[in-house]
Amino acid sequence: MDPVALLKRRILLVLAALPLAGCAVTHAEVACMPAEEDGACPSVEAAEADMVGDGLCGDEIRTVDGEGTPSGEDTAGTVTSCCYPVTYVDTKPGMECIEGRPLQGARGPVIAGTVTSGSWAQAAAAGPDVAALPTELRARLATAWTAAALAEHASVAAFAKVTLDLLAFAAPAELVSATQAAGADEVRHARRAFALASAYAGAPVAPGPLPLDGFTLGGDLAAFAAATVREGCIGETISALLAAEALAGATDPAVRAALEGIVRDEARHAALAWRTVRWAIQVGGAPVRAAVAGAFADALSGPLYPQAEGLVAGGNAHGRLEVAQAKRVVARAVCELLVPCAAALLAEPAGFGADAGRIAL
């Protein structure tokens, strides 16, 4: 099944399959970009890399649908611009860059540095095939997989904090247990990602100390629910879909083995986030519902761009997406999943029974 449809189905089980609000309206238009220096029109692939998804939610380009045609000339008669048939998507909400679930501190995500060590590298039966890779591409893959590994490592701490928060709010045992299990999943993801990063780098890579100076615990249920919207419902949902897209294009067996587990687990983590927010609304009532609505509104008010660190031109076979691919995944996630599922969540009646939310995923 298509990853977006599958994840939507899992989330809607949490939301009791409430009616959905629509999001996107697509329409055909023409968009133009500068021609190459010799007056030739860039390829469709180059046009997509340049034009697709700049400010993904608003009236934005989703696809470039055909070759460019010359549009303007300078005084010497050299073509200066080319126009392409494109499909626009009119979504109206937008989001800033949110992806994954690292631990959040007062100044943003808390990410460790790296050290030269093999302590976190969980090698598979065979590593990725790096022998034939150009040196530059191999270096970019090492950088991208290191960024991915550090994000997974930071997610271990994020789930540890969520566990403490849930205990402080007297959450049901099944939410606490599922959150602890998710943290253990992230340890496994980080180890596999550090193993891949080490293989591409040609030297062991591991996380250094996690900088927790000034980090504090505590807060109320409304703030916790709002943070879970941003970091879980949005960030982890997007991460799950990006990982699924990366898996679809990966051909290296070691990379595919790592991504298969990540895709499976991240989809479950995303559904857990939605289930957690639903529980918080049920027990916290109107103030929590208002905080959740505000978190979705704030997150969906500006353009959302995928994180750049893990994107690699020409990296599909080794599990890394290109910029245009990632932008398309994020745009589709917003319009076909996040907006309608948020609307369904907030449409639940105020007196919806807490027991109804206990759906096994």
Report the share of the chain in percent with pLDDT over 90: 44
In this model, does residue 283 exceed pLDDT 60? yes
Identify the helix (H) or strand (E) that includes residue 278: helix 253-284
Q: Quick one: 58 and 117 in the same domain?
A: no
In this model, does residue 328 exceed pLDDT 60? yes
Q: Quick one: 183 and 82 in the same domain?
A: no
Give the whole-angstrom CA distance, residue 19 versus residue 30.
34
Mean pLDDT of 48-55: 66
Q: Quick one: 328 and 229 in the same domain?
A: yes
Give the whole-angstrom CA distance, residue 251 versus residue 159.
31
DSSP 311-331: --TT-GGGT---HHHHHHHHH
Name the most confidently modeled range: 85-99, 194-208, 296-310.
194-208
Name the most confidently modeled range: 15-19, 23-27, 123-127, 341-345.
341-345
DSSP state of 301: B
Q: Quick one: 74 and 130 in the same domain?
A: no
SS (H, E, C) 219-270: CCHHHHHHHHHHHHHHHHHHHHHHHHHHHHHCCCHHHHHHHHHHHHHHHHHH
In this model, does residue 7 exceed pLDDT 90? no
Q: What residues have CB less than 8 Å from 238, skipping those under 6 apart? A: 98, 99, 100, 306, 329, 330, 333
**Residue 139 domain boundaries:** 3-21+103-357
pLDDT at 354: 39
Q: Quick one: 67 and 115 in the same domain?
A: no
178: CATH:
1.20.1260
**Domain assignment present for 136:** yes
Mean pLDDT of 253-267: 93
**Domain assignment present for 324:** yes
Mean pLDDT of 35-45: 88
**Domain assignment present for 142:** yes
Q: Quick one: 50 and 148 in the same domain?
A: no
Using pLDDT thresholds of 50, 70 and 90, give the confidence band for residue 100: low
Which of 12-21, 77-86, 171-180 bottoms out in mean pLDDT, i.e. has the lowest? 12-21
User: What pLDDT digit, counting tens, does each position of 119-176 carry?
Assistant: 888 665 578 999 889 999 999 999 999 999 999 999 999 999 999 999 999 999 999 9
In this model, does residue 47 exceed pLDDT 90? no
Identify the helix (H) or strand (E) that includes residue 342: helix 339-346
Q: Quick one: 322 and 304 in the same domain?
A: yes
**What is the pTM (predicted TM-score) of this model?**
0.74
- Comparison of pLDDT for 225 and 348, the residue scoring more: 225
Q: Quick one: 213 and 335 in the same domain?
A: yes
Using pLDDT thresholds of 50, 70 and 90, give the confidence band for residue 57: very low
pLDDT at 32: 80
pLDDT at 156: 94
Q: Quick one: 72 and 183 in the same domain?
A: no
pLDDT at 8: 65
Q: Quick one: 299 and 169 in the same domain?
A: yes
- Comparison of pLDDT for 258 and 212, the residue scoring more: 258
Q: Is 309 helix (H, G, I), strand (E, B) or coil?
A: coil
Q: Quick one: 35 and 15 in the same domain?
A: no
Q: What residues have CB less than 8 Å from 189, skipping those under 6 apart? A: 152, 155, 258, 261, 262, 265
**Domain assignment present for 96:** no
Average pLDDT, the chain: 81
Name the most confidently modeled range: 104-118, 268-282, 315-329.
268-282
Domain final residue pick, 90, 114, 143: 90
Give the whole-angstrom CA distance, residue 199 versus residue 209.
22
